Amino acid sequence: MSNNHLSNGDFETHLRHPLLSSQRSIINSTSQVAIVGANVCPIESLDYEIFENEFFKQDWRSRGVVQIFQYICMKWLLCFMIGMIVGLVGFCNNLAVENLAGIKFVITSNMMLERRFLLAFVIFFASNLSLTLFASIITAFIAPTAAGSGISEVKAYLNGVDAPGIFTVRTLFIKIIGSITAVSSSLVVGKAGPMVHTGACVAALLGQGGSKRYGLTWRWLRFFKNDRDRRDLIICGSAAGIAAAFRAPVGGVLFALEEMASWWRTALLWRAFFTTATVAIFLRAMIDVCLSGKCGLFGKGGLIMFNAYSASISYHLGDVPPVFILAVVGGLLGSLYNFMTNKVLRMYNVINEKGIICKLLLACLISIITSCLLFGLPWFASCRPCPLDAVEPCPTIGRSGIYKKFQCAPNHYNGLASLIFNTNDDAIRNLFSMNTDNEFEFSSMLIFFTTCLFLSIFSCGIVAPVGLFVPIIVTGASYGRMVGILVGNGSNLSHGLYAVLGAASLLGGSMRTTVSLCVIILELTNNLLLLPLIMMVLLVSKSVANIFNANVYDLIMKAKGLPYLETHAEPYMRQLTVGDVVTGPLQMFNGIEKVRNIMFVLRTTTHNGFPVIDEPRHSEAPVLFGIILRDHLLTLLKKKAFLPAPVVENSYDVLREFSADDFAKKGSGERIKIEDIQLTDEEMGMFIDLHPFTNASPYTVVETMSLAKALILFREVGLRHLLVIPKIPGRWPVVGILTRHDFMPEHILGMHPFLVRSRWKRLRFWQTLIEKILSGI
């Protein structure tokens, strides 16, 4: 019978304890609670390691050459489908934003030309509020997990965290529609982050063969029965999202590699590159259609391709010091941006806990403030006469452009309105533009920079699909323009180039990636001559910002409670062994177990993995046979694969009763629950032979192994359970099971408070040492 150390009452008492608390955890469970889409949701880990039980081996051996070839071809076919679908979504997304926002700006501009300023404000205000409210309502009521950019949730999933509802059909459609309306509402938000989440949703749905809940299933797609294959597809979908947002196929692959994925291999690199190449080719074809004038108000469909510096650029060694200073300050601004974003998100979580009405009121409040600022601030900017050598018609009326008339007299333009009364994409294009060193005043750039900085921070936490990527580019570009104006004629670099470098510095300081951002910016500006300066700016800004805090997506993950495993182990982990953190009680099953015992354990615990032991006749202690998953036990109970007596059945006969689909990874809405299984008293007294369904070769570590070493093994292999065996054989063959929860700092420091004190002492030592060095200098 199973090794049960607690009674039913004890189980119920202990299961109420929070997992990440200051007290030592009694129950060792992978289930945790996190804030996903402004909702508190239970989360579990994923099985990225193949579960090699006898059934899996038999299924794999039964595959012929044709089936294996079909399996490989399906991977490439799905990558092609992901690229086509994400490319289409990206094109429609940009097209819808440009036309929705374009209609709003055209009507408002026409009212301004007729000097009907109050009516223009009412139209601008009402359209922005309506679009924001619509995006918030559909997100709050239909798919709360679609809120935010989604990059943090996808990154956590690729690390092994299964947050429920992030890849459903509802989430996908609300992400697309909500992102279009939120970006069109003039909020300082972006669509690049939501595009990454959209790409991941498309890949996840294709990987599991559609959605059974909505009757959208395709049996011929259901080839991928484990988390590892689906993880690879989601990585390709994430890369396709960035490629569709910026028309940056290589940058998309590198972003998925550097920022998103926790595991990578060469075969995956090829498929991700193929996916983004498909996106790029599809978008190129769609742009050709738009250039013929079939895409509404804005002929290019809003696809970002600034192409600002196709001409030769000359810079010298004397230009490096101001660029270096720009990078240092950009790193400081990036860390400040992350700090403020983290604080605002935590404040918003408190507001969101009060209910949906509070979420909607918060979104409306941000929209009202944004509309008032965007319409009111240009009145404080001075009007400037149109330049004689203007790069485009001045003033620009009824279209996007650099020279917006706003309230100015004929043949004059308002530089601040030229940035505000455009979509974010067009604002970036104006800031990056060539031969416009005299078009924008320093005061206008300062107002625009400050407005974008604070509005982007306070807009990112509302209950709507909004991203951070584009707002950071806009804010950084305006900061770079300010530096260019201050440097003036003392540099060979144009103000537009300073805007590019400013955007790079703020991106590096906030997101902390280097290679992928460098390539994305190069693909945006279409000029390799910028490479040395952009590399230097990204390296410096990232290094400076790393002193103060983590990147913005890691801070969001931590604020939401997603248990992300870092690539490195904390120093205090080397002071502990796995035996110091593993907790109990441990639930075990015999190789042939009574149905009643299995039902009792599944009903009274939330564990997802259970050691299986055998008791040989000539051995004094039981022997570890392997580990079995909760989902597999539920499948056996549902299929009623019972034995009347505790005898070992022929494994071949047992396996013939099941198909591979019975044990395939199911979607969140298809999983079997213990409450759904009803058995008679006679069935409860029968037995199940667990041997054919148990992974007989699980990863194990000795209880004396350092926790840091175990973390590296756990993360690099992509495990969900890591068995801890005793150094000296004793009564039981297993000491406990390490899960993701056991490696979390909150759990470790809660069990061993002395580590907090020792870490604080080390921080005080280094602080004193630095102060002495600085005082000596």
213: confidence class by pLDDT, cuts 50, 70, 90: low
30 pLDDT more than 50? no
State the helix-helix crossing angle for 227-246 and 151-159, rounded to 10 degrees.
150
Which H/E stretch holds residue 738? strand 736-738
In this structure, how many other beta carbons lie within 10 angstroms of the beta carbon of residue 36?
25
* Domains of the chain listed by start with CATH number: 80-292 (1.10.3080.10), 324-560 (1.10.3080.10), 572-755 (3.10.580.10)
Measured distance CA(78)–CA(91) in Å, rounded? 20
CA distances from 202 to 166, 225, 229, 272 (A): 11, 17, 14, 14
40 pLDDT more than 70? no
669 pLDDT more than 90? no
Rounded mean pLDDT, 583-607: 87
pLDDT at position 223: 67
Bridge partner residues of 32 (DSSP): 43
Specify the higher pLDDT residue, 102 or 312.
Answer: 102
pLDDT at position 113: 82
Measured distance CA(402)–CA(551) in Å, rounded? 33
Structure tokens at 509: 């300081």
Measured distance CA(618)–CA(592) in Å, rounded? 18
Measured distance CA(351)–CA(33) in Å, rounded? 18
Measured distance CA(457)–CA(341) in Å, rounded? 5
For 150-191, what is each residue's pLDDT tens digit? Answer: 999 999 999 988 888 889 899 999 999 999 999 999 999 999
pLDDT at position 31: 43
For 291-324, what is each residue's pLDDT tens digit? Answer: 776 776 654 444 455 445 545 667 778 888 999 9
What share of residues in the chain are helix, strand, coil (percent, to 5)?
A: 60, 10, 35
Taking Cα atoms as reference points, which of 245, 40, 260, 253 lies closest to residue 157?
Answer: 260
Which H/E stretch holds residue 244? helix 227-246
763 pLDDT more than 80? no
705 pLDDT more than 60? yes
Q: Where are the alpha helices (DSSP H) in 433-549?
A: 442-459, 469-487, 495-511, 515-525, 531-546
Rounded mean pLDDT, 325-349: 93
- Residues with Cβ < 8 Å from 164, sequence gap 6 or more? 36, 41, 42, 43, 145, 668
Which H/E stretch holds residue 128? helix 117-141
pLDDT at position 112: 84
For 616-668, what is each residue's pLDDT tens digit? Answer: 776 677 888 899 998 889 888 888 888 888 777 665 566 677 766 677 666 55
Q: Which amino acid is at 669?
A: G
Measured distance CA(379)–CA(381) in Å, rounded? 5
496 pLDDT more than 90? no
- Which of 56-70, 332-346, 347-361, 376-390 has the weakest average pLDDT? 56-70
Highest mean pLDDT among 62-66, 147-151, 221-225, 450-454: 450-454
